[in-house]
């Protein structure tokens, strides 16, 4: 149905021969299969409206409205992520999105809007392959461990204590397995990240630091990654249950602006 061009053996595929503004039910069903197979899908030259971006994302589930990140003034479902010489932020640490939620996102669909002439790529890591490559000793050690995730580390900076506590009422600490199970494929995946995971239940600070670093190194293995070179109106669609991602801060003082729709997920187990 589509021209599918794998980027590696296990993760990443460019999909050609599709118009995201006009996708049939049969094509959506096929994309869902491809998404589970390849974990992140890429699309080029999709010159569509923000409304069409939102409508396409809704074919995969309800969309979240991010309570902290800057949004599109007329489309609250779209998060605007802009990095430039003054605001050098591009989600440049390895992570899965919004793990501080009790029910983190199923997936994200990101569009390139302003792309620097060089740099600004996004890399994606197969979190299932990262788990598979752990030693049996580490797998046994991690079995049953529960991570503690907190929005404050990223979104609480520069916010008054009163405001942080007000938001804590709405967004309490989230407790998720360090190794989660993908609800559709059954694959076990590494589900920790430096951005939001602040501890592990029943584990001291030193041991937490050791475990966190070991899992981050597993995710950082280039043998389980693919890398996407952005162009204007390119899209990347990734499964937050199966991958982690990291943007490259290698383009300043140029500007990079991308816009994201995020699909609501369920509680990890």
Options 53, 66, 97, 150, the catalytic residue: 97
Cβ atoms within 10 Å, residue 45: 11
Options 53, 176, 182, 245, the catalytic residue: 245
Q: Is 162 a catalytic residue?
A: no
Give the separation between CA 215 and CA 146, rounded to whole angstroms.
14
Q: What are phi and psi of 135, to 5 degrees?
A: -70, 160
Q: Is 175 a catalytic residue?
A: no
Q: Is 95 a catalytic residue?
A: yes
Q: Which of 234, 232, 257, 262 is nearest to 247 (CA)?
A: 257
CB 239, CB 107: distance < 8 Å:
yes
Give the separation between CA 249 and CA 90, rounded to whole angstroms.
6
Q: Is 214 a catalytic residue?
A: no
CA torsion through residues 9, 10, 14, 19, sign: positive
Options 53, 66, 95, 180, the catalytic residue: 95
- Here the tokens at position 146 are 């529960």
Instruction: State how beta strands 13-16 and 40-43 pair.
Output: parallel
Which residues carry out catalysis?
95, 97, 245, 260
């Amino acid at each position: 149905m589509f021209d599918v061009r794998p980027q590696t053996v296990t993760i990443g595929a460019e999909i050609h021969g599709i118009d995201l503004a006009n996708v049939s039910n049969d094509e959506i069903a096929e994309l869902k299969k491809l998404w589970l197979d390849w974990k992140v899908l890429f699309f080029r030259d999709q010159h569509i409206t923000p409304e069409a971006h939102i409508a396409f994302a809704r074919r995969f589930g309800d969309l979240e409205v991010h309570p902290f990140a800057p949004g599109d003034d007329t489309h609250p479902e779209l998060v605007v992520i802009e990095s430039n010489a003054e605001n050098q932020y591009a989600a440049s640490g390895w992570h899965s999105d919004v793990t501080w939620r009790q029910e983190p996102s199923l997936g994200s669909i990101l569009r390139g809007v302003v792309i620097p002439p060089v740099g600004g790529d996004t890399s994606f890591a197969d979190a299932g392959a990262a788990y598979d490559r752990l030693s049996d000793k580490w797998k046994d050690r991690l079995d049953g461990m529960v991570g503690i995730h907190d929005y404050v580390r990223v979104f609480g900076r520069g916010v008054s204590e009163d405001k942080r506590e007000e938001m804590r009422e709405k967004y309490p600490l989230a407790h998720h397995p360090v190794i989660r199970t993908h609800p559709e494929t059954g694959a076990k995946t590494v589900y920790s990240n430096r951005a939001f995971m602040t501890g592990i239940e029943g584990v001291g600070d030193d041991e937490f630091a050791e475990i966190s670093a070991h899992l981050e190194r597993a995710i950082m293995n280039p043998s389980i990654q693919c890398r996407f070179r952005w162009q204007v109106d390119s899209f990347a669609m990734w499964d937050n249950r199966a991958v982690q991602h990291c943007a490259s801060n290698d383009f300043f003082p140029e500007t990079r602006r991308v816009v994201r729709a995020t699909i609501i997920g369920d509680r990890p187990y």
